[in-house]
Structure 1
Amino acid sequence: MLAHYKLRGDRPILLASAGAVGGGPMRAITAQLLRLGHEAQVVIVCGRNERLRRELARITESQASRFRILGFTDEMPSLMRVATLFIGKPGGLTASECLAAGLPMVIVAPIPGQEERNSDHLLEQGVALRCNQVTTMAWKIDRLLADPERLEQMRRNAQRMGRPDSARVIVETLLHEEAAPVALDPDTQELIAEAARGFGGPVMVYDAATDELLGTISEGQLAVLSAVLERESPDDNDFYIDGPTIELLRDRGADADLLALLEQAIEERGEVEIRWEREE
């Protein structure tokens, strides 16, 4: 992995992730990482947000020798194993993957609810530091990198909490534990089936004018868009998005990832017509 991305093993490696859709304050994070005093190498994963990837590649061009700007990748487990620090949101899967890799975290912009609680737990266990203001990130990371004993302790704490064999344990438990079979009545079975249908593949979101892929959303997020915004017909797969539209969605409880994707979509022109398609 080090050779593949031309990374050096004798320098810290910071792994920053904008998630699968390329949301969050990654531009501000990148600006901070450009200001680091340490000669750290930085890998930034932009997900499916090609516009963000191109923009960050341009922003970091002056320090291109130590920045690697990636789009969507399925190599996150390998990147986590070689990284020194992870920078991003403390979602359940992300936090679990970091802990399994023994990777300390720099937490940024946790959403209210489960991410806030995850953040509290990770801080209490000594595996993370948190940047409530992105503008403090360079200072906090430089301070941590200057304290190798603290960084090593955070790594050991992450290893202690991690469960890299959790999938195997679950399967073995299901196969070998003697437990009474679960019997579900037809109504309950239908409820479960209906809920499962909401966990289909990602929904692709495009700029209707340019056909540029803006990112992906879930069926649940699409349902929020459809419920809040007007559709001309059941077959309509376009939505007009501008600032007031995003505020309306925010007021109606749209989640942070959906709002971040839409905010990035209108960043350049102030408005956009988006088109959605289900992935085949």
Structure 2
Amino acid sequence: VVCGTAEPVRRRIEGLARSLGLRAEVVGFERDMPRRMAEAHVVVGKAGGLTVTEALTAGRPLIIAGAVPGNETINEVFVCTQGAGASVRPGDVGTAVLAMWAQGRLPAMGLRARASVPRGAADAIVREVLATSCDAAA
């Protein structure tokens, strides 16, 4: 579990895992998210642009809990319509992930996640931005 800079959240999740007898690695800020994503079976989080991009690029299913109206709900719809994840109420995350795991749905969702990101997308965006910038400067 990656908690970012929220130290109280990290301590709370660590305590919860310990009290439930679960074996869990709970960390704060993570500098190497690609490695963490590669180690994960599933990503649970919000539908922010970076989280969605990282999860899909890593080929990990994304379980979205509590998308904020606006860009996050647009991202949420994209992930769900691609079959690359699911949207659940925050209180239902554990039950939903366990059900998807038990039904064997996560591997296929991961494959669809990776397939939803065009190869070379970042390079294409950079080329488009540079071309637009050069046109505007001319």
TM-score of Structure 1 vs Structure 2, range by shorter chain? 0.7 to 0.9
For the residues of structure 2 that align with 1:136 and 1:74, how far apart are their CA atoms? 29
Equivalent of 2:78 in 100, 117, 121: 121
Query: What is aligned with 1:138?
Result: 94
Of 8, 27, 30, 1:73 maps to: 30
* 1:183 maps to 2:137: yes
- Closer, same or farther: CA 97–66 of 1 in aligned 2, 3 Å: same
Q: Which runs of 5+ in 2 are unaligned?
A: none
- Say if 2:108 is the partner of 1:157: no
Shift of 1:49: 1.5
- Provide closer, same or farther for how the CA distance between residues 92 and 180 of structure 1 changes in structure 2, counting only shifts above 3 A: closer
Taking the aligned partners of 1:117 and 1:170, their CA distance within structure 2 comes to: 19
Pairing 1:171-250 to 2, within 5 Å after superposition: 171=126, 173=127, 181-183=135-137
Q: Which runs of 5+ in 1 are unaligned?
A: 1-43, 185-280
Shift, 1:159, TM fit: 1.2
Letter in 1 for 2:47: P
Specify which structure has the bigger relative contact order, considering alpha-carbon pairs within 8 angstroms and separated by 6 or more residues: 2
Taking structure 1 as the reference length, what is the TM-score of the superposition?
0.44
- State the SS of the aligned residue for 1:107: strand
State the secondary structure of the residue aligned to 1:68. Answer: coil
- 1:22-101 matched pairs, under 5 angstroms: 44-63=1-20, 66-101=23-58
Q: Please identify the structure whose Cα radius of gyration is greater.
A: 1
CA distance in 2, matches of 1:170, 1:135: 37
Q: C-alpha separation between the residues in 2 aligned to 1:55 and 1:181?
A: 52
In proportion to residue count, which structure has more helix? 2
Task: Give the AA of the match of 2:5.
Answer: R
Measured in 2, the distance between the counterparts of 1:68 and 1:49 equals 15
- Aligned-residue CA RMSD in angstroms? 2.7
Contact 1:127 1:157 in 2 (8 A): yes
Q: Partners of 1:180 and 1:69 in 2: how far apart? A: 46
Identity of aligned residues (%): 30
Contact 2:83–2:109 (Cα < 8 Å) also in 1: yes
Q: Alpha carbons of 1:135 and 1:52: their partners in 2 closer, same or farther (altered >3 Å)? A: closer
Q: Which has the higher strand share?
A: 1
Query: Structure 1 CA distance, aligned partners of 2:120 and 2:21?
Result: 37
> Deviation at 1:121?
1.6
TM-superposition CA deviations, 1:93-133 (whole Å, max 9, x none): 1101111111111110100111111111211111111112x
Bigger shift: 139-148 or 56-65? Answer: 56-65
Deviation, 1:167, is: 3.0
Q: Distance in 1 between matches of 2:20 and 2:95?
A: 19
Q: Is the 8 A contact 1:100 1:164 kept in 2?
A: no
Measure the CA separation in 1 of the matches of 2:52 and 2:101.
21
**Partner Cα separation in structure 2 for residue 64 and residue 74 of structure 1:** 28
